[in-house]
Chain A
Amino acid sequence: MIEITDLRRTYPTADGGAVTALTDTDLSVEDGEFVSVVGPSGCGKSTLLRLLAGLDRPDGGRIELNGKAVTSPSRDVGVVFQSATLLPWLTVASNVALPLRVGGKASGPALATEELLAMVGLTGFGEKYPRELSGGMQQRAAICRALIRQPRVLLMDEPFGALDALTREHMNAELQRIWLATKKTVVLITHSISEAVFLADRVIVMSPRPGRVIADLTVPIERPRSFEHTIGHPAFIDLSRRVRALLTGGEI
């Protein structure tokens, strides 16, 4: 599980000052839980993800992953970035298998590239190059790459932000299916309220800069959730409204 206590991160600015991106942040995520972090632009949610991924170091506080402090990237964590970041000179299959070729010997068994691609509906696309894939397909391949080392935690930083609305809904349904099949612990950073509520067990709402957690809401909707049923569900409507109110500064 993930345990964050009193996390703080400030960045120096060009004029010699400092910007507090994240302050007094506490959060705990259970194993196998799907948590969405939603907040306005610049609320430090990407900073939170970078700290969780071990790509950045906090100025104060503590992040623990399964009882061990996170100080550098871990094999137990897979990251999906905002852009798919597939390497254009490698085939899709080589991109998915990239984590197996770097970063030292695997501690556990790796998944088969073919099976992963099949799971996300990319059967037969392994030998294609990234430029031949649509944005949604590229991001699905990036998810495969994040899963291939069998990490226990999947961190996703606005992975569907660049996709059109319909593709995004489709990808949300896909991600739920993948999560139900793999039972990873997922932390999804997003600025889409409906995406956050639709996918998560818990929605964490963050304040504008300096970012900190202002609400932790449980989503009491049974799974698997379908878009058609979920968007009309009273709990979905209620939660979406509350998140919106929190983000726009209104009262609940």
Chain B
Amino acid sequence: MTDELREPAAGAKAPPALPAAGLGRAMQRLVPGRSGMLGLAGLALLLSLWELSVHWLKVPSYVLPSIEDVLRSLAHGLFVSPADRTGYFLPLWSTLSNTAIGYVIGVALAIILGSLMAEFRAVEKLLMPYAFALQSLPKVAIAPLIVIWCGFGDSSKIAMSALLTFFPVLVNTFAGIQATDPSRLDLMASLSATRLETYWNVKLPSAAPFIFAGLEMGIVYALLGTIVAEYLGAQQGIGVTIMQAEAVTDVPTVFAVLVILGFVGVGMHLAISAIKRKVVHW
């Protein structure tokens, strides 16, 4: 059972092979200037097809709104006072702050527990079966339970964000520490270093590239978790904005919010990547 859980993380040895890292590269390709004109040309083609299908194929606006309508919704939500209740800033702030709080909690718990599991065989034996069972369970399916436990306020969103962040970071921390180069452990042993000294000076830094691969996956999941919790009945948040627009068949607003979420997702991923380059500088 333990080996099966190790397996997905074993791929983390080569971070580019990870789904999340691949996603990251794909996202970066969408940012103009990074891989240049080809990406922009693709975007232009996509937008043209969209516009053509709306105007010529007469796709109804509740299926596919015109670009113009989406842009109008975007402008309506963005060019208002940040305090305007009909704008996007208040719900976006709510969603992002809950995502961030949950992310930090999930990451902290995952690194602590992942480290304990890697350091102490007993902790691994105790927790690994549960970690594996929860890992296999679609965590979105737990969301209704979380809402029952934590209510319709921020806490259930934070809990979902933390829950979805937790697993990729846990598994990568565990695998990263276990993959520490044995010659580095010999070195620390020859210096009579204590277990804690070896952990801080060698094991944790050695695991850093693995942990960051988990952090990059985790941030995408954190946003997903928050929005799922918002769908299940919250008072505020960008998920609520989508649900409200959907209720009145305001499809342009749904599209506009999805565009914003796309940019937010790319932005968060790039931010984690930037921190990774700063921390894992070797």
Question: What is the interface of chain A, defined by CB distance below 8 A to chain B?
Answer: 53-55, 72-75, 77, 79, 81-83, 85, 87-89, 98-99, 101-104, 129-131
Instruction: Say whether, besides A81-B183, A103-B197, A129-B282, A87 and B191 are in contact (CB < 8 Å).
Output: no
A residues in contact with B197, CB < 8 Å: 101-103
How far is the CB of B99 from the nearest CB of chain A, in Å? 29
**A73 and B201 contact, CB distance less than 8 A:** no
Q: How far is the CA of A99 from the CA of B202 in the complex (A)?
A: 13
Instruction: Say whether, besides A55-B186, A85-B187, A131 and B201 are in contact (CB < 8 Å).
Output: no
Q: Could you list 26 A-B pairs, sorted by A, with CB under 8 Å?
A: A55-B190, A72-B192, A73-B191, A73-B192, A74-B192, A77-B190, A79-B187, A79-B190, A81-B186, A83-B183, A85-B183, A85-B186, A87-B201, A87-B202, A87-B205, A89-B280, A89-B281, A89-B282, A98-B201, A99-B191, A101-B201, A102-B192, A102-B193, A102-B198, A103-B194, A130-B282
Q: How far is the CA of A77 from the CA of B190 in the complex (A)?
A: 8
Q: How far is the CA of A243 from the CA of B184 in the complex (A)?
A: 33
User: Is B49 in contact with chain A by the CB < 8 A criterion?
Assistant: no
Q: How far is the CA of A74 from the CA of B189 in the complex (A)?
A: 10
**B191 and A103 contact, CB distance less than 8 A:** yes
Question: What is the interface of chain B, defined by CB distance below 8 A to chain A?
Answer: 181, 183-184, 186-194, 197-198, 201-202, 205, 208, 280-282
Q: How far is the CA of A98 from the CA of B202 in the complex (A)?
A: 11
**B186 and A102 contact, CB distance less than 8 A:** no
B residues in contact with A131, CB < 8 Å: 282
Most buried by A among B188, B191, B282: B191
By secondary structure, the A interface counts as loop
How far is the CB of A127 from the nearest CB of chain B, in Å? 14
**A73 and B190 contact, CB distance less than 8 A:** yes
Q: How far is the CA of A98 from the CA of B186 in the complex (A)?
A: 14
Which single member of B184, B189, B281 contacts A87 (CB below 8 Å)?
B184
Q: How far is the CA of A97 from the CA of B191 in the complex (A)?
A: 12
A residues in contact with B193, CB < 8 Å: 102-103
Instruction: Say whether, besides A89-B205, A102-B194, A55 and B188 are in contact (CB < 8 Å).
Output: no
How far is the CB of B62 from the nearest CB of chain A, in Å? 55
**B192 and A103 contact, CB distance less than 8 A:** yes
B residues in contact with A75, CB < 8 Å: 192
- The residue in chain B whose Cβ has the minimal distance to the Cβ of A54 is B190
Instruction: Say whether, besides A88-B282, A98-B201, A73 and B194 are in contact (CB < 8 Å).
Output: no
- The residue in chain B whose Cβ has the minimal distance to the Cβ of A129 is B282
| In the A-B complex, the 4 residue pairs with the closest CB atoms | A88-B282, A103-B192, A102-B193, A79-B190
How far is the CB of B13 from the nearest CB of chain A, in Å? 16
Q: How far is the CA of A217 from the CA of B189 in the complex (A)?
A: 32
Most buried by A among B188, B192, B193, B201: B192
**B188 and A102 contact, CB distance less than 8 A:** yes
Q: How far is the CA of A69 from the CA of B71 in the complex (A)?
A: 80
- The residue in chain A whose Cβ has the minimal distance to the Cβ of B184 is A85
How far is the CB of A119 from the nearest CB of chain B, in Å? 20
Most buried by A among B193, B194, B205: B193
**B189 and A55 contact, CB distance less than 8 A:** yes
Q: How far is the CA of A99 from the CA of B181 in the complex (A)?
A: 18
Q: How far is the CA of A89 from the CA of B207 in the complex (A)?
A: 12
Q: How far is the CA of A104 from the CA of B201 in the complex (A)?
A: 14
- The residue in chain A whose Cβ has the minimal distance to the Cβ of B183 is A85
A residues in contact with B187, CB < 8 Å: 79, 81, 85
A residues in contact with B191, CB < 8 Å: 73, 98-99, 102-103
Q: How far is the CA of A101 from the CA of B280 in the complex (A)?
A: 22
- The residue in chain B whose Cβ has the minimal distance to the Cβ of A75 is B192
Q: How far is the CA of A228 from the CA of B282 in the complex (A)?
A: 40
